[in-house]
A and B are shown apart, each in its own frame.
Chain A
């Protein structure tokens, strides 16, 4: 991990924090349905498994140290003890799984693999940790807890679709976001094409 990776890990932790700030997109009346999980999905999809998971770990460490960086200004070790603690901890595994699937084989992300990775990691893995923890804390049976969690699935699916669209746009328009081998080659190619176009323009054709 070089300094640029360190900065990118820090920035994605910051992105998740900023997406949880008030004045965001807390719609559905006053119930805070936040965009933070969108940030988790993007962290895994853009940074890849290891750096994505590291980024979430850094964020949650700061939260545990008492910084109110989770949606609704929540923070402190108490976040991990309450019923939603498992969902926050699940972000680490979630980002990791997303990164694994989206960047499988170090190939350029295609839309279906991106969507698959984000749904499996960003929803599946996060719920897989969140629901058992919630069930243990609330003494509500596992099945009922899972049933209750279904309420949040539509919102998370919308976020998964948005994240997929955002990743697709970045792959096309800003491949250096991914800092991967394929991004480097595609950039070289497009730069080559541009220099050719500049070179072929007749001298003095401008105003």
Chain B
């Protein structure tokens, strides 16, 4: 499965996962707490911080541009709502602030391997074991979930092709029932396979 991680050796890549998460969370929090009453600076400070975060050697502004393109729909919907209800000035300030906020937070997934993030989460969530939640079982659930995605993608493709072969127009309703039954059968097989391997 393709993850959001981009290999590299920038400052962000070198930072330990837990520390990096804390730094980014602090930045996000600081930006969120900037008083609205300041007007322009509530947009320029986040924008400057965001540019500084991405200007670090090894990442670059091209990656930032890619991030902004990827979140264009969220930004457009936000900007339109702001324009209608608040007018152009606040719309510009708030949309810029949100774009900066999301881009800064995106650095975590961009520069950390998914396995490292999962490990860090496991460590962070270790107090959960006091609530009688078995971390191994959580790990098993996440691993199984990840493995169902390719199988289910294949099942979705099969259903679509079968319907195209019968020249049915693509419709969500006609797609959903056969897809769900294939998925549930896959779940039954998966359950049997897990039971056979001694998972209770």
Kindly specify which of B45-53, B54-62, B191-199 makes contact with the partner chain. B191-199
The residues in A between 59 and 83 inclusive whose CB is less than 8 angstroms from any CB of B are: 59, 61-62, 64-69, 72-78, 81-83
The residues in B between 19 and 78 inclusive whose CB is less than 8 angstroms from any CB of A are: 21, 28, 32, 36, 70-71, 73-74, 77-78
The residues in B between 65 and 113 inclusive whose CB is less than 8 angstroms from any CB of A are: 70-71, 73-74, 77-78, 81-82, 84-86, 90, 94, 98, 101-103, 105-106, 108-110, 112
Q: Known: A61-B121, A66-B109. Is A7-B114 also a contact (CB below 8 A)?
A: no
Cβ of B172 under 8 Å from chain A: yes
| CA of A70 to CA of B142, assembled, Å | 16
The residues in A between 1 and 23 inclusive whose CB is less than 8 angstroms from any CB of B are: 2-15, 17-18, 21
The one of B109, B152, B175, B188 that contacts A77, using a Cβ cutoff of 8 Å: B109
Structural contact, B78 and A83, CB atoms closer than 8 A: yes
Which of A8, A65, A77, A147 is most buried by chain B, counting CB atoms within 10 A of its CB? A65
Cβ of B15 under 8 Å from chain A: no
Q: How many residues of B contact A (CB 8 A)?
A: 71
Kindly specify which of A89-97, A104-112, A135-143, A184-192 makes contact with the partner chain. A135-143
Cβ of B167 under 8 Å from chain A: no
| CA of A5 to CA of B148, assembled, Å | 14
Cβ of B149 under 8 Å from chain A: yes
Q: How far is the CB of A140 from chain B (nearest CB, A)?
A: 6
**Residues on the B chain within 8 Å of A118, using CB:** none
Structural contact, B152 and A14, CB atoms closer than 8 A: yes
Structural contact, A169 and B184, CB atoms closer than 8 A: no
- Interface size range on A against B: 35 or more
**Residues on the A chain within 8 Å of B118, using CB:** 65
Proximity bits, A33-60, B CB within 8 Å = 1, else 0: 0010010001000100000001000110
Structural contact, B199 and A6, CB atoms closer than 8 A: yes
Proximity bits, A160-181, B CB within 8 Å = 1, else 0: 0011011001100110110000
Cβ of B187 under 8 Å from chain A: yes
| CA of A77 to CA of B108, assembled, Å | 7
Structural contact, B141 and A66, CB atoms closer than 8 A: no
| CA of A2 to CA of B192, assembled, Å | 10
Given contacts A7-B144, A68-B4, 19 further A-B contacts (CB under 8 A): A2-B200, A3-B192, A4-B191, A10-B145, A11-B152, A61-B142, A64-B117, A64-B121, A65-B121, A67-B1, A67-B3, A75-B109, A78-B105, A81-B101, A82-B102, A144-B81, A163-B176, A166-B177, A169-B177
Would you list 10 pairs from A and B whose C-beta atoms are within 8 A, ordered by A residue?
A6-B141, A6-B191, A7-B187, A59-B145, A65-B121, A78-B106, A82-B98, A170-B180, A177-B180, A177-B181
